[in-house]
Every structure is written in C-alpha cells, then in structure tokens.
Chain A
Amino acid sequence: MKSRRSSNLLIEPPSCATGDIAFNLIVFFLVCASVAPDSGRKQQLPRSEETPQKKEQKSQNVEVALTRTTATINGDPVRTREFLPRLRTLLANKQRPEDRVVVVKSRNDTPYDFWITVTGLIEDAGGTVTIQREEERTITVGP
C-alpha cells in the first residue's frame, strides 16, 4: 500500500525585520513632514533710496495708515471688508506704475497678521506697496 504524505506545511512570512521596517517608516514620514516645502507670498524689494522727485511723487500717492486694529485710506477710517473696493476706486484712473504706489505707514504696535492682510488687499487692488517708517525711509514693495 502506498502511503501518501501530506506536504502542506504551515509557512509563515519572516517577521524578524518588522520592527525595523516600522521604525524606518516612522523616520521616513517624520523627515517628509520636516522638509515640507514652504509656501507664502512673494514681494519684490528694490533697494531703498530717497530722491526729491520721489518725495514730490509721494504726496500724490494713496496713503494707508495702520494701527493695531484699524486702517485708514488718506486719513479716512475704512473697515477691512470695504478696503478693497475703496482702494480700487482710488486707483482706477491711475495707469502709470508710479501713480499706483500705495504708501503704508504702520504704527509700532501694528501686528504682522493685520499688516499682511492689508498689504495683500493693496496688491489685489493693483497697488504697489511702499513702506514708510517713522524715520521717513521708504521701501518699495510690490509686483
């Protein structure tokens, strides 16, 4: 009589390296998270300089003054939601790039969050942001 031997042995996948694989995966995703590309908003900054012509020009430009929570356009207080249409109206008739400069004067305690919101609105309205600091040095910012 021929006996038939069963060859169905239980085969398990090797699991000795599972811990190492898990550890490597953790390291891989940590590294991916730490080198995630930054994103934000670009601004071109020509070198700051002051000329008499620029001083004269400045008086014709729109002026935005910022405090901790408020913004004014040419001295008139404006709410954030009304800021964009108001500025668009003021810049509508100005075609030359130098006429579309908006001078931003910030009080020392103006928070960055608010400054970014307002300068973003100025750029959306087609204006070129120029920062004017208290000591009267100007920096042109914008596209």
Chain B
Amino acid sequence: MKIARKTYKVEVPSVAMGDIAFNLLIFFVILAKAQDDTHLNWTPAETTKIESAGASRVSVLIDNNSKLYLNGQQIGISQLAGEVKQLLGDSPAGDRTVLMKVHRDAQAMLFEPVIEAVSEAGGDLVHILEKQQSD
C-alpha cells in the first residue's frame, strides 16, 4: 500500500507588504524633491531675529568650499541670473522667493554678485539663518 505524502501549503509572508510599499513611497518622494541640497556642507550665519522663509522653488547655496549651487546643482555666477529668471518664470509677486543659503565664512566677493544676480532676476531674497543663542 502506498502512503500518500502529506503536503503543506507554503505561502510568501505578506505581513510587511504595506510597510514596504510605504517605505518605497517615501523614498521616491524624497528623490523627487527638486531642490534637494541636503548633501551640501554649509553652516548658516546667526542672527537674533528670524522668521519662517515659507515655500520656495529656488534655492541658491554657497558651500564651505566657496562653490555656488542652484537647487543642488553646481552653477557659475554668470549663468545664475538667467537660470533664476527661468525658474521663477511669470510667478506673481510674493511667489518669487529665492532662498539664499550662504556658508557663514563666505566672502563678499562671492555672495554680493549672487545677491545682484537674484536682484536682476526679480527674486524676493530670503537669507537662511540660524537663531543666535542668547548669552
């Protein structure tokens, strides 16, 4: 007599599928962030009064190696005004914010032309600063 072998039903565990999908979603949302400059090294200057910068689609950064970046991509000062103007397009006043992130030790010969370029492009400049700790 032949004894039939007992078969077990094996399934791939699907408990964590929701979590995996959620993680993938977050991952792609971070990647899709257009102006990601979190990989750049800079230290903000300090000031006593700060306010919220609000939403912005343009970010200009001078890092601790005195390199200039527009929305996380390295750029030359001569191209900056044109690129900022293009990014701002026909946005109305109040929606033309340009975040300026400058390393605290950057020199005037670097950041003043940047301010001039943003001015030429018609941007509303917001200096990104850190609140000074009271003594």
Q: Contact between A112 and B26 (Cβ–Cβ < 8 Å)?
A: no
Binding site for A on B (CB under 8 A): 15-16, 19, 22-23, 26, 30, 33, 38, 44-54, 62, 99-109, 111-113, 115-116, 118-120, 122-129, 131
* CB contact list, A91-143 vs B, under 8 A: 106-113, 115-117, 120, 131, 133, 137, 139, 141
CB-CB < 8 A to B107: which residues of A? 108-112
Q: How far is the CB of B22 from chain A (nearest CB, A)?
A: 7
Nearest CB to that of B99 among chain A residues? A38
The complex places the Cα of A100 from the Cα of B135 at a distance, in Å, of 31
Contact of B15 among A17, A38, A109, A133 (CB under 8 A): A17
Q: Contact between B48 and A120 (Cβ–Cβ < 8 Å)?
A: yes
The complex places the Cα of A23 from the Cα of B45 at a distance, in Å, of 34
The complex places the Cα of A141 from the Cα of B111 at a distance, in Å, of 14
Please judge, given known A-B contacts A116-B45, A117-B47, whether A37 and B52 are in contact too, CB under 8 Å: yes
Q: Contact between A141 and B115 (Cβ–Cβ < 8 Å)?
A: yes
CB-CB < 8 A to B33: which residues of A? 35
Q: Which one of A106, A112, A139 has the greatest number of beta carbons of chain B within 10 Å? A: A112
- Chain B contact residues: helix, strand, loop or mixed: mixed
- Bitwise, A35-67 to B at CB < 8 A (1) or not (0) is 101111111111110000000000000000010
Q: Contact between B112 and A133 (Cβ–Cβ < 8 Å)?
A: yes
Binding site for B on A (CB under 8 A): 16-17, 20-21, 23-24, 27-28, 31, 34-35, 37-48, 66, 106-113, 115-117, 120, 131, 133, 137, 139, 141
Q: Which 4 A-B pairs have the closest CB atoms?
A: A106-B108, A108-B109, A45-B119, A110-B108
Contact of B51 among A31, A41, A47 (CB under 8 A): A41
Nearest CB to that of A31 among chain B residues? B26
The complex places the Cα of A115 from the Cα of B129 at a distance, in Å, of 12
